[in-house]
Amino acid sequence: MKYKLLYEGLRKRKLQAGELIFSEGDPGDYAYIIEEGAIEIWTEIDGQRLVLNVLSAGSMFGELALVDGRTRSASATAKGDVLLTLMTQEQVNQRIQSADPILRMLLLVAIRYFRSETEKLRHYTEEQITSYSDPRADLEGRISEAVEMIRMESELRTAIDEEQFTLLYQPVIHLERGQIVGFEALIRWQSPTRGLVRPDLFIPLAESTSLIVPIGQWVIAEGVRALQEIESVTGKQMFVNLNIANRQIEDPDFFEFLLEETRQVQPSQIKLEILERSLFDSDAAIAWVRRCRSLGFPLVLDDFGTGYSSLQYLNKYRFDTIKIDKSFVWGLDDKANSRSICQAIVDLSHALGMTVVAEGVEKSSHVNALREIGCSFGQGYFFAKPMPLENAIALLDNPPFSW
């Protein structure tokens, strides 16, 4: 199926040598990123063309008019064959509005300074012009970083259209029986240019641009398909943990999509996993949690103990499962505090009617310690790394884990 896309795609534009991109005095319609080739930024003084700068691949230009609303302060022409990525006024505004207010103010100050410096060129001698240094040079590193983010965003949009993502599955183990009871679905991006991209390298960008919504929809649909295939091949009914981001919680169409996609499985098989730091105090968040529970979808609180208000959240929101952060699990062997914290989390969770899953289990000693403190479930490299669906299905036919 085609997932809902909440954005306007980034357009591309090809130009030939000498082709005009925009003229001085034009209103700002797009900002540009040079993907291939080079362009000249120039102005005209007393009928003479004065080249202010030559920009090559990886540079951005034309953004000033979009930010401060003034007309173009110079003209731009292709030096040879050029490929540009275009950003609209709306796309630029979205990024500016999401920035810190102080940073927005500094940006406007910097733009005024740049325009002032450009205007001074009209009164320079030829020698002064030759030695002129583009004031943007000091920002070159930050501009390159921003350009890379925008380029990755463009590639992410293509990845959504072409469904370049894949899910890997890491088993959740019952620590007493050694049996697989379910899986956590972990997304990877199979980029044709970047290779296999880890989620920490693209999910933050997706969350900041709302691309996480169509990506999250794909994850839900693919996770449901995996459950159906597991049951069809093995006859076993598993659950799958699906990670949910802030933007998905805010999406007004989230539940409509979720209910449509999960008609062929039981709601109890779809566990919605959210990070502790993703929680926020709002009526919308409370309503979202209540709706999940009323529809029968279990809620999992990930990385418990790493946020600022862990106990407050347990008091305010009702969860079915808590995941102990791996940083505590890794300290079980040699840190008394870690063991005490894990014990306290397990006792508190059980008192509140919640199950506990320990993340980051990497050694048999971790398993033994977790069983001693009453933790029933574990997940980590000691059992298995995240794997393709076919490998996960094959693992279900193996005997129970033993240690």
Which string of DSSP letters, residue by residue, matches 140-169?
HHHHHHHHHHHHHHHHHHHHHHHT-EEEEE
pLDDT of residue 3: 47
Smallest CA-to-CA distance from 227 within 266, 258, 178, 174 is with 266
Give residue limits of the domains in the chain: 11-152, 163-396
pLDDT of residue 110: 56
Under DSSP, the state recorded for 259 is H
Task: Report the pLDDT averaged over residues 191-200.
Answer: 92
Specify the range with the lowest mean pLDDT, choosing from 247-251, 281-285, 298-302, 306-310: 306-310
Banded pLDDT at 11 (limits 50, 70, 90): confident
Tokens at 330, concatenated: 């890794």
Banded pLDDT at 395 (limits 50, 70, 90): very high
Please state, rounded to an integer, the average pLDDT across all residues of the chain. 85
CA separation for the pair 352, 128 (Å, rounded): 74
Name the most confidently modeled range: 103-112, 262-271, 321-330. 262-271
Higher pLDDT, residue 46 or 40:
40
Banded pLDDT at 311 (limits 50, 70, 90): confident
Per the CB < 8 A criterion, the answer to whether 273 and 300 are in contact is yes
Model confidence pLDDT, tens digit, residues 339-385: 999 999 999 999 999 999 999 999 999 999 999 999 999 999 999 99
Say what percent of the chain tops pLDDT 70.
81
**How does 125-145 read in b/e, with b if 16+ C-beta sit within 10 Å?**
eeeeeeeeeeebeeeeeebee
Q: Tell whether the model's pLDDT for residue 136 goes beyond 80.
A: no
Per the CB < 8 A criterion, the answer to whether 173 and 379 are in contact is yes
Under DSSP, the state recorded for 272 is E
CA separation for the pair 358, 377 (Å, rounded): 6
pLDDT of residue 397: 87
The terminus-to-terminus CA distance of the chain in angstroms comes to 43
CATH code of the domain occupying 11-152: 2.60.120.10
Q: Tell whether the model's pLDDT for residue 240 goes beyond 50.
A: yes
Radius of gyration of the chain (CA): 27
CA separation for the pair 344, 382 (Å, rounded): 24
Banded pLDDT at 130 (limits 50, 70, 90): very low
pLDDT of residue 109: 56
pLDDT of residue 398: 83
Banded pLDDT at 113 (limits 50, 70, 90): low
CA separation for the pair 133, 383 (Å, rounded): 59
pLDDT of residue 210: 86
Per the CB < 8 A criterion, the answer to whether 257 and 244 are in contact is no
Q: To the nearest 10°, report the CA torsion of 98, 195, 36, 42.
A: 30
Higher pLDDT, residue 179 or 210:
179
Model confidence pLDDT, tens digit, residues 56-96: 998 889 888 887 778 898 999 999 999 998 888 777 766 66
pLDDT of residue 279: 67
Q: How many helices (H) and strands (E) does the chain have?
A: 15, 17
Specify the range with the lowest mean pLDDT, choosing from 93-102, 123-132, 214-223, 283-292: 123-132
Task: Report the pLDDT averaged over residues 211-237.
Answer: 97
Specify the range with the lowest mean pLDDT, choosing from 198-207, 232-241, 270-279, 350-359: 270-279
pLDDT of residue 82: 96
- In sequence order, what E strands does 175-214 have? 179-191, 195-197
Cα four-point dihedral sign 310, 314, 318, 321: positive
pLDDT of residue 93: 67
Q: Tell whether the model's pLDDT for residue 306 goes beyond 90.
A: no
pLDDT of residue 55: 93
Specify the range with the lowest mean pLDDT, choosing from 115-119, 126-130, 149-153, 293-297: 126-130
Say what percent of the chain tops pLDDT 90.
56
Per the CB < 8 A criterion, the answer to whether 51 and 126 are in contact is no
Q: Tell whether the model's pLDDT for residue 114 goes beyond 90.
A: no
What is the third-level CATH fold of 163-396?
TIM Barrel (3.20.20)
CA separation for the pair 190, 208 (Å, rounded): 21
pLDDT of residue 78: 97
**How does 190-216 read in b/e, with b if 16+ C-beta sit within 10 Å?**
ebeeeeebeeeebbeebbebbbbbbbb
pLDDT of residue 7: 39
